[in-house]
A and B are shown apart, each in its own frame.
Chain A
């Protein structure tokens, strides 16, 4: 790496230092527990607000309380895909190994959130609209998003060479991220033209302030959790891939 700012390295924080897995490994280990703790506290606060402070919804009764996990999970499923594509793009553009590892580390967490969004959506839909599933634009796109995550993970799992896996996954993630808006709009259009069902997801109940607060706290809790999980997983990936290096051997030897 060209180090033009070698002299003032002590003065300015050098981000590129942490582009090396060896340097990032202890950093991730140091900050992951903080995010995990933050997530745990926020989950407790958010659920407390959601279940004990927020009032019963006038139209939906108590089943609306699923919103406190459903909406954050749905947001995270999309945000994580974007983050994944971002790291994938950085990895392709600058050929940094850590970026590809970050993308792989994010994928399972993103897929889990997509699954949670679909699951809670079904459980919310049943008491509210009397059906587990409607081919609504949002639900259908979310399902296709889950397939995109699976495709990414399956492709990487099928490739033995980690560098090729990173790059192939990166191309796929970028193709996917271009397609997501196209998928969403085409599905939305398809749905409005097939308006057979009487279910309209657009008329969301007006939200009380405490409901909104509870939801936002849960959103931040999910963010913190996703970051902690991804950092934890990227540490596993670093160890797996750098197993032959001296520093990993020294690190693992020190632990046992």
Chain B
């Protein structure tokens, strides 16, 4: 079972590497969305420092969501997913592997680039570190919850917009805790409780979401 999971991860990462352009586009989207906010709000540094954590998190949320439609679409189109459905390995395990690979390809770049965006908003150095850490702890639950939506909307018309409608309200707790962590650091308080809660949510999502994702995939194939 573990070897199957390893193979799925290796395969998905290879595929993602061959399509580096896709990854690059979502990172670019992340950077552009975050950079548009100062243009709309004005260059006042004090104000930007206040809205910075929230803006970077919202941009990360959107970028992470946009990448979701790639998660199952190709495997659905070429029949690989059907093989996984009827294979001997539990579907939820394969799903964990796929979401993990997707997270590395689509969300890890966001985590790494985020401190740079935080710099644009004048966040202090320790807040930048916490921003990256909070994103690293919070984005796994985004990927896991999002994968439920991606599986449910597989092959549907208007899937992309529908996916946003399904998934974004469920992202609210991660957004709240993530921006609070950064804000707390920026205002000289401890970010620890928020980071712990983000980690707890990702672990809870890891234990519950794979079943929902597997169930949703089976439903989409009926």
**Which residues in A have some Cβ–Cβ distance to B below 8 Å?**
92, 144, 147-148, 150-151, 154-155, 158-159, 161, 163-164, 167-168, 171-172, 174-176, 178-179, 182-183, 186-187, 189-190, 193
Contact = CB atoms under 8 A, between A and B. Distances in A.
Contacts of A189: 176, 180
B173 A182 contact: yes
A171 B176 contact: no
Given A171-B148, A171-B215, A193 B165 contact: no
Contacts of B134: none
Nearest to A161: B222
B201 A164 contact: no
Nearest to B156: A158
Interface residue tally on B, bucketed by range: 20 to 34
Interface in B164-222: 165-166, 168-170, 172-173, 176-177, 180, 201, 208, 212, 215-216, 219-220, 222
Contacts of A176: 170
Given A159-B156, A190-B180, A172 B166 contact: yes
21 contacts: A144-B172, A148-B169, A150-B165, A151-B166, A151-B169, A154-B165, A154-B166, A158-B156, A161-B222, A164-B219, A168-B219, A172-B148, A172-B152, A172-B166, A175-B170, A175-B212, A182-B201, A186-B176, A187-B176, A189-B176, A190-B176
Contacts of B139: none
A53 B219 CA distance: 54
B3 to A, nearest CB: 29
A179 B156 CA distance: 24
Contacts of A175: 145, 148, 170, 212
B157 interface: yes
A181 B208 CA distance: 15
Chain B's interface: helix, strand, loop or mixed, by majority? helix
Contact of A178 (B162, B208, B215): B208
Given A147-B165, A164-B222, 11 more contacts: A150-B165, A161-B222, A163-B222, A167-B222, A168-B216, A171-B219, A172-B148, A175-B148, A175-B170, A183-B169, A186-B176
Give me the 10 closest cross-chain CB pairs, A-B, nearest first.
Answer: A186-B173, A147-B169, A167-B219, A151-B166, A190-B176, A186-B176, A158-B156, A144-B169, A168-B152, A151-B165
Contacts of A179: 170, 173
Of B148, B176, B208, B222, most A-chain CB atoms within 10 Å:
B176
B42 interface: no
Contacts of B177: 186
B40 interface: no
B158 interface: yes
Contacts of B107: none
A187 B177 CA distance: 9
Given A167-B219, A193-B180, A155 B170 contact: no
B220 A164 contact: yes
B153 interface: yes
Contacts of B157: 158
B72 to A, nearest CB: 14
